[in-house]
Amino acid sequence: DDPLALLSGSGTLTRRQEKLAKRLSRQAELKRLRMAQEIQRQLEELEVKQKELEERGVAVEKALRGEGNETDNNKEETELMGEWFALVHEKTRLGRYEQELLVRAKELELEDRQARLQQDLRERLTVDDEMKTKDDIEAEREILNEMMEIVEQRDTLLDMMEEDRLRYRSLGHAKTSLEAGPCVRPNAGFWVLVALGVVVVCLSHVLAPLLVHVSR
C-alpha cells in the first residue's frame, strides 16, 4: 500500500508505469464494486431470514401462552422452549453475521478512499518540486496524513471483529449454561429486538456512497 511504490528514482512516473498504475487502479475499483454488490445481496438475504425468524419467534411466544395455532399448542412446553432457545441462538448468529458484513462494507469504503488518495498523490508527485507552491506541498502532506489515518481505522476494524468473535464465543457458553439451567419463559415482545431497520439504514449510509463512487 506504499503510495510511492510506482515512482521512479527521479521522483516521476514513466509513461509505462503511469499506464500500468491506472489499469491496476481500475481493476481494483471493479473488484471493490463486485464485493460491495455481493455484500448488499447478502444483507438483503439476511433481512429475509431475520423476518422469518421474527415471525417464528412470535408464534412460539404465543404457543407458550396457549394462544398459538393448533399444531404449536399441541407441543410440549419443553419442546417449545427448546425451539425458543434455538431461535435465540440463530438470532445471535445472524446478528454477528450482519455485523461482519457491515464491517467489511466499511473496510471497502476505506480501501476506496485510500486508493483515490494514492492516485491523487501520484499525480501530484509527477510535478517537479521546483514548480510546487507551499499549498501543493501542504496538500501532499495532508494526503499522507489521511492515508495513515485510514490505516489506523482499518486496524481498528480488525480489532472490533476480534472482540466480537470473543464475545460471540462467550455468548455460546452462556447459551449452553442457560439451556441447562431453570426454564424461563421469554417476555412478550422479545422478538422486537430482531427489527430490520438497522440493515436498511446501514445499506443506505455505508454501501450506497461506495457503489456510487466506484461505479464512476
Report the length, in residues, of the chain.
Answer: 216
Q: What is the pLDDT of residues 32-66, one digit of tens each?
A: 889 999 999 999 999 999 999 999 988 888 888 88
Q: What is the pLDDT of residues 8-17, one digit of tens each?
A: 344 445 677 7
* Chain centroid to CA 192: 23
Report the b/e string of 75-104 with b at 16+ CB within 10 A. beeeebbebbbebbebbbebbbebbebbbb
The DSSP secondary structure of 20-43, one letter per residue, reads: HHHHHHHHHHHHHHHHHHHHHHHH
Domain ranges of the chain: 15-214
Arithmetic mean of pLDDT, 23-27: 84
Gap between the Cα atoms of 63 and 111, Å rounded: 49
**CB contact set of 108 (below 8 Å; sequence gap of 6+):** 32, 35, 36, 39, 210
pTM score: 0.63
Arithmetic mean of pLDDT, 138-142: 92
Task: Answer for the pair 12, 125: CB distance below 8 angstroms, yes or no.
Answer: yes
* Chain centroid to CA 46: 13
* Radius of gyration in angstroms for the set of CA atoms belonging to the chain, rounded to a whole number: 25
| pLDDT at residue 129 greater than cutoff 50 | yes
Higher pLDDT: 29 or 3? It is 29
Q: What is the pLDDT of residues 167-185, one digit of tens each?
A: 777 765 555 544 444 444 4
Gap between the Cα atoms of 2 and 6, Å rounded: 9
DSSP helix/strand/coil, 132: coil
Arithmetic mean of pLDDT, 146-153: 92
